[in-house]
Amino acid sequence: MNSRQIHSSLKVLLVSDLEKSKQYYRNVLGCEVTDWWVIREGFTGLGIKLLQANSTEDVRPNRLEKGFSQPAPDIYCYVENWAALDELYMEFKEKAATFVIEPWIDEEAGPWKEFAISDPDNYCIAFGGTNKNSL
């Protein structure tokens, strides 16, 4: 089959305060926020559906990954190159995002560079990629 069967996928997050989360994704992450979606760079970029949880106990971000001290990402966003990654980092830093992983480089994985932030419910959103400009 030659046609693409899956165009994109979206993450659904249960949140403790829907309006607070919408404001965060709009104001800090620069997303377009509608009644149904939080998106940045279209549905093939960052796409999330936020749903109001019945109780705060229903909000369950990922825990620590076995063997790691850093949180396991709930959402992972791939970025074209390190220049774009650095631009995102500076944008989020200027907007007072909460960083749970500062930018770092894994030399053995490409090399791979990444950082991660957390939203108001402590969902971890990671951003990373290889440096295609240097290859």
- Residue 36 has phi, psi (to 5 degrees) of -115, -30
Give the Å distances, CA to CA, from 89 to 2, 12, 75. 37, 24, 16
Structural domain boundaries of the chain? 11-134
Query: What is residue 99's predicted lDDT score, i.e. its pLDDT?
Result: 97
Q: Is 30 left (phi over 0), alpha (psi -120 to 50) or beta?
A: left
Distance of CA 114 to the CA centre of its chain: 11
Query: What is residue 95's predicted lDDT score, i.e. its pLDDT?
Result: 97
Cα gap 90→101, rounded to integer Å: 14
Pick one of 3.40.50.2300, 3.10.180.10, 2.60.120.380, 1.10.1040.10 as the CATH number of 11-134. 3.10.180.10
For residue 119, the SS3 value is coil
- Give the torsion through C-alpha atoms of 88, 90, 91, 96, to 10 deg: 120
pLDDT values of the chain reduced to their tens digit, one per residue, 135 residues:
567 777 788 999 999 999 999 999 999 999 999 988 999 998 889 999 999 999 999 999 998 777 777 889 999 999 999 999 999 999 999 999 999 999 999 998 889 999 999 999 999 999 999 987 544
Tokens of 45: 């970029």
Q: Which contiguous run of DSSP H or E holds residue 27?
A: helix 18-27
Cα gap 134→46, rounded to integer Å: 25
Burial class (CB within 10 angstroms; exposed 0-12, middle 13-18, buried 19+) of 26? middle
Query: What is residue 135's predicted lDDT score, i.e. its pLDDT?
Result: 42
